[in-house]
Amino acid sequence: MKDIEHESGVYHVTGEARYIDDLLVNERLLYGRVLYSKVSHGKIIACNIDAANELPGVKAILTHKDIPGPNQMGPVIHDELVLAKDRVTFIGQAIFLIAADSEEIAIEAEKLIEIKYKELPSILSIKDAIKKGKLIQPARKIETGDVDNSFSKAENIIEGELEIGGQEQWYLETQIALAMPGEGKELLVYSSTQHPSETQALIAEVMNLPKMEVEVQIRRMGGAFGGKETQANHVAIWACLLSKATGCPVKVRLFRDDDQIMTGKRHRFLMQYKAAFDKRGIIDAIHVVQHTDAGAATDLSMAILERAMMHADNAYYIPNMCIVGKAWFTNLPSNTAFRGFGGPQGMACMEQIIDRIGRMLKKDPADIRKINFYQNKKRNRTPYGQKVENNRLEPIFKTLLKTSEYKKRRTEINSFNANNEFFKKGMAFTPVKFGISFTTSFLNQAGALVHIYKDGTVLVNHGGTEMGQGLHTKIRQISAMELGIEIKNVKVNATTTAKVPNTSATAASAGTDLNGMAVKNATDKLKDRIGKRACEAFNEKLPKNGKRTKATDIRFANNTVYDLAHPKRKTAFHNAVLDAYFNQISLSATGYYKTPDIHFDRDKGKGKPYYYFAFGMAVTEILLDTLTGHFTNVRTDILHDVGDSLNLRLDIGQIEGGYIQGMGWCTTEELKWDDKGNLLNHSPDTYKIPNIQDIPKDFRVAVLKGYPNAEKTIRRSKAVAEPPLMLAFSCWLAIKDAISAVHEHQIEPMYSLPATNEVILLSIDDLKKRISL
Ligand code: MTE
Ligand code: MOS
């Protein structure tokens, strides 16, 4: 039962898996297309849609005037238009919607629409936004200790800036929705969304409908990675508008290039930092200002910034720390969630600081890390006031140091570098500590609805969504284990707002923690009912002087309901179910869960926002060609903490995938815009995501054994999803280590993220120039 395969695995490889684009609709299906702004900031001074309207096969062309409800689709703050009015604020902003008999006709229609813009000055970089003072929301601060005092008496101080790039989510299935009008006001929407309840809510608002008329359904997404947490709402809303206007089913699916141009990405950041430390390398204070590019609307930027701020410490105890967070307006698509949700950006800066301290003190950065780690009894409070409890840093560090042969390889690398002029090797050992829970505490809730049918098979509905991570597989396992039945008798239904209402996004890595517990709550109720009836049934057939069965003796296991006190009294699960049915007992139950004991006061910047932390560490060794800037990942060792794994296969998959995705962000995935705000690389030929050749030549992934989650999570498991992405800092800093070997680690190389070939070569060039000075 433990390590079963992904429930869609076979469907994925046979092509049987039904994605939204595969759904069979009727001949009335229309294709929707979105005409978007081609200027980053401007006034729309004229437009003409007459010719497009006359094109045969065109069924509707909609503008902002055709929206029944408010022209707003901002998920948290209402600062995002469904369709632009007289002004556009980024390239990719929707202006017109077209519905036509075919995609080709819709494209033809789009070409016939004329728009005249008067271009206005736009803000396209964080530095420019800072200069113009355009914050998207008020700045935030988290503070502990006395930073100024620490700096005034510090032995060593380093200061600097770190530029961190964004990242395109690159889900394989681009944004898509299919809206089907029902009778009366009904709308059934198939949406590739991580957050069906929010998609439903925003559709209802924009369409001016009560939520009960809107059902949002999703079987599975072809990947999401945060990119469909809020921005799947957009295409779903557009599809609904076109569907209502035409009375037909309408599908809107974005082409890859359009998707990359129109939708938000991981936030870029500019970090300005200053750190105080002693001669051993123990850090006493850090001041960091985190500037981020929110884009043209708030979207999730403030929550993402909050997580960046709360991860500015990564795995280290910093007694005096001040973190200021500023999200800036730019004339670019609104940036959004991406695996790690700001955490990676916050942590990158911390790792850069540690790395610099190591080089400055001529010590191995791994040793600097170790002496700064959070401790168990003291030196364990985060800047936002939460204690780091059940800390796994020490066992992970110790084990990985040994299994990765770190010290031995360090010596080998040094001698390799001494003997090679153009090739240099580099290695880095980096930790991850990641807080699990939504930092907006009330979001930490989930619901389920479990049906048992008369044949003993079980259909599980829960509020989480499947995006490839294996949530439905884990839920299926949990249900089967709780009910003591075989996995083949449990099925997880497509997620729909009609079955489980008012859910939170499947995000923050908490999908299994939350929904798994909600499902358990439902199966507990069902077991209680069926168990009570089984108990009665056993007692009805009691032999003379036989001892009565107590409800507390009933157990569910091996497809059987047992009376533990009387081993002979047992009945098959499906018989117990049928018997309950004939005795008029409900075989359907809802479940609910909320994470206990978490809270956060935003104004004070203090609280216990996380139920627990996930930990992990990685060691990466790379080989760098200093003449081309090309590097090879020679070997990566990972040890990651997933508590008691629910499914090792899935967990290893998430760890490997997270690392590789993080490596893409840290090395090759560079977003480039021209000076007009056009995204220059919006397809895989110019935007370089990792491919099979980028995988470490020797990839050793293990999970920490013998450390169940100390909190009462489902079967003492831990979230996996996001944290492994940040293990890729070991690759990023291994490259820096190799660059720095060009001059025997004497000079701090200039560096940024991603470390593209260009960044690497410029950094080497700069080193050489500084040496010759
Ligand atoms: N894994 C796959 N295959 N596809 C995805 O889209 N999204 C990631 C992660 N792993 C993703 C993935 C992100 S951003 C999150 S928050 C979690 O999965 C969400 O799922 P979970 O909470 O059920 O782990
Ligand atoms: Mo994940 S970024 O929390 O969807």
Name the pLDDT band for 272 (thresholds 50, 70, 90). Answer: very high
CB within 8 A of 594, min separation 6: which ones?
Answer: 444, 445, 446
Pocket perturbation via mutation, ligand 1, pick of 6, 469, 714 by most ligand atoms within 8 A of CB? 469
Which of 221, 230, 339 has most ligand 1 atoms within 8 Å of CB, for mutation? 339
* DSSP for 709-729, written as a single string: -SS--GGGB---SSGGGGGGH
Element (H, E) at 250: strand 250-253
- Using a 10 angstrom Cβ sphere, with 0-12 exposed, 13-18 middle and 19 or more buried, the burial of residue 55 is middle
Distance in angstroms (rounded) separating the CA atoms of residues 152 and 484: 63
Q: How far is the CA of 192 from the centre of ligand 2 (A)?
A: 14
Q: How far apart are CA 436 and CA 451, in angstroms?
A: 30
Is the predicted pLDDT of residue 481 greater than 70, yes or no?
Answer: yes
**Which stretches does DSSP call E strand in 370-477?**
423-436, 445-452, 458-462
Task: Report whether pLDDT(2) > 80.
Answer: no
Sheet holding 140-144, edge to edge: 140-144, 320-329, 283-295, 269-277, 156-164
Residue with tokens 């969304």: 193
CA 2 vs. chain centroid, Å, equals 25
Nearest to 503 by CA among 77, 70, 186, 211: 211
Q: Measured between alpha carbons, how far is residue 570 from residues 54, 367, 515, 530 in Å?
A: 73, 59, 31, 13
For this structure, is 722 an active site residue? Answer: yes
Give the Å distance between the CA of 337 and the centre of ligand 1: 11
CA of 715 to the centre of ligand 2 (A): 23
Please state the rounded mean pLDDT for residues 459-472. Answer: 98
Report the separation in Å between the CA atom of 592 and the middle of ligand 1, taken as the mean of its atom positions: 22
Q: 598 in helix, strand or coil? A: coil
pLDDT at site 567: 87
Quick one: which ligand is closest to 655's CA? 1
Catalytic site residue from 486, 669, 722, 758: 722
pLDDT reading at 721 higher than 80: yes
Which of 170, 149, 84, 219 lies closest to 671, judged by CA?
170
Q: What is the mean pLDDT of residues 177-196?
A: 98
- What is the C-alpha separation between 451 and 446, in angstroms, rounded? 17
Question: Within 6 Å (CB) of ligand 2, which residues are found?
Answer: 194, 226, 229, 337-339, 341, 507-508, 722
**Which residues make Cβ contacts (< 8 Å) with residue 674, sequence separation at least 6?**
680
Amino acid identity at 579: D
Question: Which residues have C-beta within 8 Å of that of residue 89, sequence separation ≥ 6?
Answer: 40, 41, 296, 331
Q: What is the mean pLDDT of residues 317-343?
A: 98
**Is the shortest distance between the CB of 511 and ligand 1 below 6 Å?**
yes
List residues bridging with 701 in a β-sheet.
Answer: 638
Computed on alpha carbons and rounded to an integer, the radius of gyration of the chain in Å comes to: 28
CA atoms 138, 144, 147, 149: torsion sign? positive
From CA 130, how far away is CA 495, in angstroms rounded? 42
Using most ligand atoms within 8 A of CB, pick from 195, 229, 233, 304 the residue to mutate for ligand 2. Answer: 229
d(CA 373, CA 112): 62
Average pLDDT over residues 137-153: 98
- Which of these, 2, 758, 753, lies nearest to 340 by C-alpha position? 753
**b/e sequence 13-47, b meaning 16+ C-beta within 10 Å:** eeeeeebbeeeeeeeebbbbbbbbbbbbbbebeee
Q: 430-466 burial, b for 16+ CB within 10 Å, e for fewer?
A: bbbbbbbbbbbbebbbbbbbbbbeeebbbbbbbbbbb
Assign 19 a pLDDT band (cuts: 50, 70, 90): very high
**CA-proximal residue: ligand 1, atom 7 (nearest):** 225
Stretch 316-324: mean pLDDT, rounded?
A: 98
Mean predicted lDDT score pLDDT of the chain:
97
pLDDT tens readout for residues 104-127? 999 999 999 999 999 999 999 999
Alpha carbons within 13 angstroms on the beta-carbon side of residue 707 total 20
- pLDDT beyond 70 at 1: no
Closest CA to 656 of 593, 725, 599: 725
Mean pLDDT of 658-664: 98
* 167: nearest Cα among 90, 267, 261: 267
What is the 461 CA–ligand 2 centroid distance (Å)?
A: 21
